[in-house]
Structure 1
Amino acid sequence: MYGPPPAPPPHLPSPGSGAEGDAGAAPPGRRLAAWGLDTALLCVVAVLLGIMTWGRLNSLHKDGIWGHVWSATWGLLLSGGDVQAAAEDLGESVWGTIVSDIQQALFLLVLVEFLHQFAGQALGGRTAGKAVLDLCVENDVHVEPARTARSIALRRALTTTAGGTGLYCLAWVILLHGAFVLAVLTWILAVGVFAGNSVPVLLGGGRRTLADMVAGTTVVPARTSRRAMEPDPAQPDSGSPRVSDPFLPSDAPPPDWYD
């Protein structure tokens, strides 16, 4: 007698299916740790840009300053001895070079964060920090054309960058140009956007940040190891061995014992 066929393996939930956690959303602790790793990478870039900018300013102090002095001296001769105008031109020229170097570093920092967020979302569905913590960004609509997926990645990257380095660096640029009040208002706006992009993860029921709501996404556990254990539906089921019958030819189909 032959026993009943073995039961099929239990179905493993896919990412974002809601079988675990709060409607499939990633736990706040893991999201905070992923954000910390992404921020640590950004801090490394900021330190490198700071070292580069400091080197450029030192080079200006040692070498470039003489070019500005020569320009101011030549302007002094051409102006008929207008010392005040020459001094103002010298100061403005040096300050303009310093401001330009700092602005370039701030722009590069914002650009690095934006490219990290956009490329991670568009190509892999997660940033480096989320990959380490086994999280991924899932679209609300699961079947998306490539152009729509890139649009979602763009909206999420823009919102995240604005709440990260974007508005903060903009406030520094405004301050360098002398608009103190506007710079303070921009800093306050930066803090508000940052809070709106982080507080819902800790307090909101859906754990969706401002970037999630703008882009229509949710951060969920990727469950990479569990998905690797799932049987491939495209492959034939080899879990139950074929029962052979000595009275049937080897190429005959197996009999249906339960008719």
Structure 2
Amino acid sequence: MHPTIPGFTYRRVPVDGDITLNVAVGGSGSPVVLLHGFPQTHLMWRHVAVELAARHTVICPDLRGYGASDKPAEDAGADGLTYAKRTMAADTVALARALGHDRFALAGHDRGALVAIRAALDHPEVITHLASLDVLPTLDTWDVMHGTSAAVGFHLYLMAQPPGLPERMIAASADAFFGHFLDIWTRDPRAIPADIRAAYLAASRASVPSVVADYRASAGIDVVHDQADRDAGNLLRMPVSVLQQDWGTALGFDAAARWRAWAPDLRHTTVSCGHFMAEEAPQDVVGAVLDLLTR
């Protein structure tokens, strides 16, 4: 038996031509879409989703290229668009629309937060509220990575390389590679029990080319899209809540200031836990999302 979110129903939803996403849906009320991070699946929201479903319709997809969603081959001739955050954001809007929701709140963690940010910039008439968990916008991530402190982001540089080498290196020791991040980014190992860890590793092991393509896009086309918005003065005009560890201080930059440059209506909160805060501090995340939805 694969782990599932208790009380949620599962279905496959077409979003882009022949691309379908695996999605768990539960609850009733105004819609909230939750996008997972790396190296995880929609299961990272299992605690948060159940709590939010008491008041809202909660939609938890696996991103394209991850989990049980489709994993189209990277099209080198498409300038990285197959896994551009713009493409994945369009997936998210199409998913919600297919489920009957023209407007919705959106929360993302890690990679999912980058998709959520892009969705909010590209579809401001659709995204009513935005929550981001423990990430900076793509443009800012690369701006702050420098010197020896950037060693913590070695995977960003590895997966930015041209197709071939990173895929072979990671596939040769997939469980060790993906397990490394599950270990070092978690303060409380009990937050990711054995069955969930096994599900994450199995999903990641089966997704190496698409995971690498997702990261490669963030070193290429995603930066182009962010820079275009920065140059045009485009902002996140909806209410935005950001939850982050205190890594901004550790790495020598002001994370809140970085976020304020994008989001005039911002609440930025530091959470005392590891990177996987939806699993380590789910009540903090639920509280932040419910607070966001009142704004």
For the superposition of Structure 1 and Structure 2, which TM-score range results when normalised by the shorter chain?
under 0.3
Which of the pair has the greater relative contact order for Cα pairs under 8 Å at 6+ separation? Answer: 1
Whose helix proportion is higher, 1 or 2? 1
